Structure 1
Amino acid sequence: MQEAAETLLDELTEAYVVGRREGKEPIGPEPDAEIAPTIRLIPRTPAAGPLSIALTEFPGVVLRLGRWFYEPLPECGCDDCDEDPEELVIELRRLVVAHVEGGLWERVRRGLTRSWLETRLIGPGLKISRRAPIDPAEARAARREGFAAPVRWAPWPRRPQRTDLP
């Protein structure tokens, strides 16, 4: 799974106008989340959302898209679940393609007692909607950054095709 993820990141770096950063980051939003080697791709246009893949000890990956979309692959990893590695690679590519083509929407909503984050990822054969509670400080910061209204991340800018090659 990790090798396929690294290959995908290389393909994205080659095809799109992005910056690439490698480091160690928490793999989840929790304060005590595991720290893992992470590769982050940041489009050169601020309207397009970032993507990162953390390489976990399992060996699996944690995909993060935009601000809040989070997807561990495999989701579980136990022998009973027996997730097919080939299907996981296909799913990883589907999620990433939907994002780089501009299919990710995110927002913060106020509820009666707390705020909620909402994400929606739409792509070919894919429609995922999620809602989760959000920390009040994070909700305020997100509203200041424009997430009170739905934010649709723009498609990633493609690299120009080279026509001067022999």
Structure 2
Amino acid sequence: MGGRWGDEEPPAEAHSRVSDPERFRPLLAATDDLVADLRRRFDVEVSDEPLDAGHGLPAQRLHPATGDGADLVVVRTDFPGVHLRAGRWTDASFPRCGCDACDEQVDELIEELVAFAGDVTGGRFGEQLTAGPGPRELTTWRPGAINTAYLTPAEAGAHGEPGRHAWGPWPQRSAASST
């Protein structure tokens, strides 16, 4: 990633400072474009709903009309930023942090956002929650990215039943219905 710090460590205070959150505002426009594109290309049902009663942030759920594709929930945050939820357990935030030390670049974040959505819609996305007596593992994968989080039994229980999901591709919208 390109950024202002180069090979040097950012100063300690940069980790707790967000001097220009508005630099992330283009993520919101890119997300609007992405959702419009997904609605045009894929046969999906779209519903507006709050993510949950605690947050009350406006969200759009895109649900494949047929097949075994993963749902994609898009939340535009006040930061400004975007939060995606895919499948049963996967969350991704753009930006991930936003602090001056992380110095995330908005063009790179937009590319990551589009790639994440492309992996979900293309059926190149999976997730697994393990069961057992000790810490549980929540693993998600897509091309070039495997992430594992270790959860306490209580945290894992809040996610519901363990299982494995290798999600399928979203159904394409026919040319006649996309006009």
TM-score under structure 1 length normalisation: 0.80
* Greater gyration radius: 2
Residues 4 and 21 of structure 1: CA distance in aligned 2, closer, same or farther (over 3 Å)? same
How far 1:36 moved relative to its partner? 1.1
Pair 1:42-2:63 in alignment: yes
In structure 2, how many angstroms separate the alpha carbons of the residues matched to 1:112 and 1:6?
Answer: 43
What SS class does the counterpart of residue 148 from structure 2 fall into? strand
What is residue 84 of structure 1 aligned with on the other side?
Answer: 105
What is residue 4 of structure 1 aligned with on the other side?
Answer: 30
How far 1:113 moved relative to its partner? 2.0
Contact 1:41/1:51, CA 8 A, preserved across alignment: yes
What count of residue pairs does the alignment treat as equivalent?
150
Residues 114 and 82 of structure 1: CA distance in aligned 2, closer, same or farther (over 3 Å)? closer
Pairs within 5 Å for 1:103-114: 103-114=124-135
Give the residue type in structure 2 aligned to 1:127. A
Structure 1 unpaired stretches of 5+: none
Cα displacement string for residues 12-58 of structure 1 (whole angstroms, at most 9, x for unaligned residues):
011001001112223xxxx95x3311111000125111001111110
In structure 2, how many angstroms separate the alpha carbons of the residues matched to 1:136 and 1:3?
Answer: 34
How far 1:137 moved relative to its partner? 3.5
Pair 1:66-2:92 in alignment: no
Question: Which of the pair has the greater relative contact order for Cα pairs under 8 Å at 6+ separation?
Answer: 2
What SS class does the counterpart of residue 54 from structure 1 fall into? strand
Residues 111 and 137 of structure 1: CA distance in aligned 2, closer, same or farther (over 3 Å)? closer
Contact 2:67/2:171, CA 8 A, preserved across alignment: no
Contact 2:85/2:91, CA 8 A, preserved across alignment: yes
What is residue 155 of structure 1 aligned with on the other side?
Answer: 169
Pairs within 5 Å for 1:131-150: 131-133=149-151, 135=155, 137-138=157-158, 141-143=160-162, 147=163, 150=164
What SS class does the counterpart of residue 172 from structure 2 fall into? coil
Contact 1:121/1:129, CA 8 A, preserved across alignment: no
In structure 1, how many angstroms separate the alpha carbons of the residues matched to 2:99 and 2:42?
Answer: 35
Give the residue type in structure 2 aligned to 1:78. C
In structure 1, how many angstroms separate the alpha carbons of the residues matched to 2:126 and 2:61?
Answer: 19
Give the residue type in structure 2 aligned to 1:132. Y
Q: Report which of the two has the higher share of strand.
A: 1
Contact 2:135/2:150, CA 8 A, preserved across alignment: no
TM-score under structure 2 length normalisation: 0.74
Residues 21 and 132 of structure 1: CA distance in aligned 2, closer, same or farther (over 3 Å)? farther
Let me know the Cα RMSD of the aligned residues: 2.2
Percent identity over the alignment is 29
